[in-house]
Amino acid sequence: MALATFGAGCFWGVEHFFREVEGVTQATCGYMGGKDTAVTYKEVKTGTTGHAEVVQVEFDPERVSFNALLEFFWKNHNPTMLNMQGGDIGSQYRSTIFFHDKEQKQQAEASKLALARSGKWGLRPIVTEIVPVQTFHIAEEYHQNYLEKNNLPSCHLTY
């Protein structure tokens, strides 16, 4: 198995969509990117911790490639919105890819460049950050598989 970590707004929707990808064996909500070592949802949602809401994706590279996950990531949020997605505003909702190795970094950078050149978003720049993976802090249990547990439709915007 391999890992990939993405931030694309509210983690409930991101987790929900990644769970549906064939070859993804686990999608876990959590926090990454800040300096605090012990964080809670209450702290992260203030936007002062430096952490982003992220989903750590465990996947079988024999069944789904990292590049395929990147395509899915780009299609399911707006990478031109700085520190927000839809009605969620703050650095904790930023668009980010935390790469786990050199190959993921190269693939993420290449896919970001290809998206920018595609013209899909017009002249708006792709603001997604591509940064090294940091400590993953698992979100509280009630956030895991939140939409399904609460019989809710997706809260995530698709583009």
Residue keyed to tokens 């024999």: 62
Catalytic residue among 4, 6, 7, 10, which?
10
* 29 noted as active-site residue: no
CB 56 within 8 A of CB 136: yes
Angstrom distance (rounded) from CA 47 to CA 143:
18
Query: Counting beta carbons within 10 angstroms of the beta carbon of residue 157, is it exposed (0 to 12), middle (13 to 18) or buried (19 or more)?
Result: middle
DSSP annotation of 77 = S
Angstrom distance (rounded) from CA 117 to CA 43:
37
Angstrom distance (rounded) from CA 2 to CA 41:
26
Residue positions annotated with a catalytic role = 10
